[in-house]
Amino acid sequence: MERSLVLLKPDAIDRGLIGEIISRFERAGLKIAGLKMTWPKKELAAKHYTEDLAQRRGEHVRNLMIEMLTSGPIVAICLEGVEAVEIVRKMVGTTEPKAAAPGTIRGDYSHVSFKHADSKKMGVYNLVHASGSVPEAESEIAVWFSPEELHEHKPGYTKHTIAY
């Protein structure tokens, strides 16, 4: 069993896609272990978008992502399931919305390109963040949730459908 972090970003909240996106994860059999809505402060967003991002993509990109993440409320979700990190990433689609395949969350609900975001000097509004690896998920979940906010439970319907 793995856990993965998903953040529904301000553009997903603004567009009223919370229920639609969460229901897609639930229909795939992923279990919600933690869920909350918050309006992150810059310090929290900077803990999420670490210096590692600045090293990989540049400090300018990191600052744009922090600005985007703090521009409105977000919904933080800790999902749990068999190979959850890979499943969630596949469901979300590639980071650049215009390149995301139809059937993915980004492919179905967004279309912005890196080129457009760069021309507007803004972060890429791509609806969701999803952890990229198990170690990344573990550190990101710790940024957004305290241990008391995460719950282990086995829904009754899983007894015969998914071996948890």
Closest CA to 9 of 38, 42, 46: 38
User: Which CATH number goes with the domain that contains 18?
Assistant: 3.30.70.141
Q: 157 in a domain, yes or no?
A: no
151 classed as catalytic: no
Split into its structural domains, the chain has a count of: 1
Percentage above 90 pLDDT, the chain: 73
Provide the CB-side half-sphere exposure for 125 (13 A, CA).
Answer: 20
Contact 6, 25 (CB under 8 A): yes
Answer whether residue 53 shows pLDDT above 70: no
Mind listing the pLDDT tens digit for each residue in 65-98? 899 999 999 999 999 999 999 999 999 999 999 9
Q: Which amino acid would we find at residue 30?
A: L
Would you place residue 33 in the very low, low, confident or very high pLDDT band (cuts 50, 70, 90)? very high
Active-site position among 48, 129, 151, 153: 129
Q: What is the pLDDT of residue 129?
A: 96
Q: Write out the residue range of the structural domain in which residue 55 sits.
A: 2-146
Lowest-confidence region among 32-36, 47-51, 87-91, 107-111: 47-51
Q: 163 in a domain, yes or no?
A: no
Q: 76 in a domain, yes or no?
A: yes
Q: 151 in a domain, yes or no?
A: no
Answer whether residue 14 shows pLDDT above 90: yes
Answer whether residue 151 shows pLDDT above 70: yes
Q: 30 in a domain, yes or no?
A: yes
Q: Share the mean pLDDT of the chain.
A: 91
29: alpha, beta or left, given left = phi > 0 and alpha = psi -120 to 50? left
Contact 27, 163 (CB under 8 A): no
